[in-house]
Amino acid sequence: MEMQIYLPLILVVFAAIITLGYVFVLFRRVSRIAVNDKRVGDISKHIHDGAMTFLIREYKLIIPFVLGIGIVLTVLGFIPALEGAEGIGWKSAICFVIGSLFSAAAGWIGMSIATKANARTALKARDDGMSGALNTAFSGGAVLGLSVVGFGLLGLAGITLVAYLITGDIKAPIQILTGYSLGCSMIALFARVGGGIYTKAADVGADLVGKLEAGIPEDDPRNPATIADNVGDNVGDVAGMGSDLTESYVGSILSALTMVLLSPDLLALNSTNPSLFFKYLLFPVLLCGIGAIASIISVIIVRAKKWADPHKALNIATYIATGIVIAASITLSLAYVGNWKLMICVIAGLLAGVGIGFIAELYTSDAFSSVKRIAKESTTGHGTNIISGIGVGMKSTWLTIACLGAVIAISYFFGGEYGIALAAVGMLSTVGVTVSVDAYGPIADNAGGIAEMAELPHEVRGITDKLDSVGNTTAAIGKGFCIGSATLTSLSFIISFVKAAGVTISLDDPKVLIGMLVGAMLPYLFSALTIGSVGRAANKMVDEVRSQYEAHPEILEGKMAPDYNKCIDISTKASLREMIVPGIIVLVSPIVAGFVLGASGLGGLLIGGLVSAIMLAVFMANAGGAWDNAKKYIESGKFGGKGSDAHKAAITGDTVGDPFKDTAGPAMDILIKLMSVISLVIVPILSTDGFKCLWDLIVSLF
């Protein structure tokens, strides 16, 4: 009996360690590629130092939050009424700190290698052509992808194993894992929001003053903000995206475990058929263990071959991992648990992940009509460009929701609430590859920038441009994937919350209705704040660049190097300062709602926030992607090409789309996940006997 639990957990811990071991190997391989060009080396060092400085400052800023929350969790555990409550107490606090550390470590390693791989990709492109460059960029991405999986899984399976060893009770680890998940969420909050503001402040600032005022091309070394722009790609798309998916990954597995405990049918097995009960518990964990190995295999296979077409290579990586996980889910469902319905849920989740990615491509790729229409509407002016982009973004919600609705329905039909959580696990089981493919994008983008700045031969830029354009597609697909996985994970958390709260949260309860209204408003407020932050930070950047040009006109003539570090410093400071207010709103809102409106009002807040945030996230991501590609489509020579009026209008759309798709949109994922995890943590307080929310206190007056 004991072995039935220990063996799978040990295997998964082992898989996690193998994954991290392979991360180490890949890291060394990429680092060892010689940087045999001084200029490339210098630029790369600038970017690396800038990125690491940002990360150090960001982590420093987070430390008080982590410690504060850790202390609160510990103190709450000493309240007698809350003893043994899920996610509270010193054990949860330790898990919380571990979660923060692991997520931070994955981000750190990923950023470290991404800012090394960029220069090496550029140089490989020069020396070995496409296949060498692709190999390097993909290996760099894989370091992040496998770190996310390795750390996520190590923490989950490790904590479970240790806690079970100590207590001998399988429920014990699950109760403290909420703390672990919250830790990952905390890092994700700041990494996503801060990173999102950083990247677009630098990008928009650099474009406004460089392209439009000084008339110099993108990535020109004369632009003081250009290094900050390249740092931003890493800060946003590497560290931010990685921590976002770490959170989803850990959250989905945790919610599947929680569902087993909260679903009466499955929990009953604990006494009638404990062996089967444990199989239900360990199924998602084992599946993700296999997913980790599958990711390693697909990375190895892709690295072993010389590719001429990057798109094909990345697709193959995805197909291999997906194929292995599907096979594993079938095997585990039939041979291990003995319930064929589970594999349906897993596969539905996997396919929905692919489906949402494809829908994102449908609305944001210039191969389809939407982007072409935006390009055409650009010929009649800025206004029509904006209107049609907004129309495309809004319209794209319907297919995305149809896809999400279908996966919820299917997984529920076959597996109940546990099935919905399994669908999330299924979608995220191949996250190692998904993140690898996604993180490859900013490395390729950076490589192009470095090639430009270091004036490498023209064909190098040709190769990096090709890599980059594939990266744009994978980025759009990745965003859809982030939204889809965040939705399913949050949905599972919310269902757990409702069950744990032990109250019916009914739609004719005004507390629920007010909660929903406030919840639906929060994503708008949050978006307004982060978009405003980008504007303010970009303006500071513009001022700095202008003053450098004024003080030293030689910079523009290329006779003097601009002060890159000042611009990096501006982006860093601005993004760190600007992320505080939105961050606090996310952390505090569910707590305030819980104490004012009670558990049912908080449930309303969560679900209102979820539906509102998904819509905004899909709308903003796809509108932004469509504007971006409409601009590129015109730049490719359509509707007058570069410099035409249509192009100017398309640039307007792209400027609006930048904070949409890279700042506010991705932040929505964090908003909904973090609010639901916090709610899960405070639900024991809200459902304590004797707890009265402000609402009930007021009602008792009348």
The footprint of its own copies on residues 400-419 (CB under 8 A) is 401, 404-405, 408-409, 412-414, 417
Q: How many CB atoms are closer than 10 A to CB 171?
A: 17
Output the CA torsion sign for 325, 329, 331, 336. positive
Cβ-based nearer residue to its own copies, 284 or 519: 519
Looking only at residues 148 through 207 of this chain, which bind its own copies when binding is defined by CB under 8 A? Answer: none
| Subset of residues 362 to 401 that bind its own copies, contact rule: CB under 8 A | 377, 380-384, 386-388, 390-392, 394-395, 397-398, 401
Which positions from 544 through 603 interact with its own copies, judged by CB under 8 A?
603
| Residues within window 207-236 making contact with its own copies, judged by CB under 8 A | 208, 212
Per-position x/- string for 464-503, each x denoting binding to its own copies as judged by CB under 8 A, each - no binding? ---------------------------x--xx--xx----
Eight-class DSSP state of 644: S
Q: Is the Cβ–Cβ distance between 563 and 222 less than 8 Å?
A: no
CB of 380 to its own copies, least distance (A): 7
Q: Residue 41 or residue 532: which is nearer to its own copies going by CB?
A: 532
Query: Interface residues for its own copies in 652-671 (CB under 8 A)?
Result: 652-656, 659
Is 381 or 462 the residue whose CB approaches its own copies more closely?
A: 381
- Smallest distance, Å, CB 633 to its own copies? 18
- Closest CB to its own copies among residues 441, 608: 608
Contact window for its own copies (CB under 8 A) among 118-126, 231-239, 349-357, 526-534: 526-534
Q: Is the dihedral of CA 436, 438, 444, 446 positive or negative?
A: negative
Token output for 279:
């199989």
| CA–CA separation, 522 and 347 (whole Å) | 33
Specify burial of residue 394 (Cβ count, 10 A radius: 0-12, 13-18, 19+). middle
Closer to its own copies by CB, 186 or 672: give it: 672
**Selected binder of its own copies within 82, 611, 632, 691 (CB under 8 A):** 611
Q: Where are the alpha helices (DSSP H) in 305-381?
A: 310-331, 341-364, 369-377
Distance of CA 161 to the CA centre of its chain: 27
| Residue of 111, 607, 667, 686 interacting with its own copies (CB under 8 A) | 607
- The sign of the dihedral angle between the CA atoms of 108, 431, 317, 235 is negative
Taking contact as CB under 8 A, which single stretch among the options 233-241, 520-528, 558-566, 573-581 is the one that binds its own copies? Answer: 520-528
| DSSP string covering 370-381 | HHHHHHHHGGG-
Per CB under 8 A, contacts with its own copies among 679-698 are: 695, 698
Q: Which is nearer to its own copies, 387 or 556 (CB)?
A: 387
| Cβ nearer to its own copies, comparing 321 with 516 | 516
Alpha-carbon gap, residue 613 to 487, rounded angstroms: 9
CA dist., res. 384 & res. 659, Å (int): 19
| 673 close to 496: Cβ distance less than 8 angstroms | no
How big is the site for its own copies, counted in residues (CB under 8 A)? 81
Report how far residue 286's alpha carbon sits from residue 616's, in angstroms, rounded to the nearest whole number. 34
Please give the Cα distance from 53 to 56 (Å, whole number). 5
Q: Pick the closer one to its own copies by CB: 406 or 580.
A: 406
Which of residues 36 and 369 has its CB atom nearest to its own copies in the complex? 369
Neighbours of 336 (CB within 10 A): 16
Least Å distance, CB 624 to its own copies, is: 12
Q: Looking at residues 265 to 304 of the shown chain, list those that interact with its own copies (rule: CB under 8 A).
A: none
Question: Interface residues for its own copies in 527-546 (CB under 8 A)?
Answer: 527-529, 531-532, 534-535, 539, 542
Question: Where in 335-364 is the site for its own copies (CB under 8 A)?
Answer: 341
Report the largest interatomic distance among the alpha carbons of the chain, rounded to a whole angstrom: 81
Closest distance between its own copies and the C-beta of residue 115, in Å? Answer: 29
Residues numbered 26 to 65 that lie near its own copies (CB under 8 A) are: none
- Closest approach of its own copies to the CB of residue 473, in Å: 23
Task: For residue 142, give the nearest of 242, 68, 65 by alpha carbon.
Answer: 242
Q: Which amino acid is at 408?
A: I
As measured in angstroms, the least distance from the Cβ of 286 to its own copies is 24
Q: By CB under 8 A, tell whether 646 contacts its own copies.
A: no
* Residue type at position 28: R
Nearest distance from C-beta of residue 287 to its own copies, angstroms: 22
Q: How many CB atoms lie within 10 A of CB 369?
A: 12
Residues 6 or more apart from 195 whose CB is under 8 A from it?
Answer: 232, 235, 236, 239, 240, 575
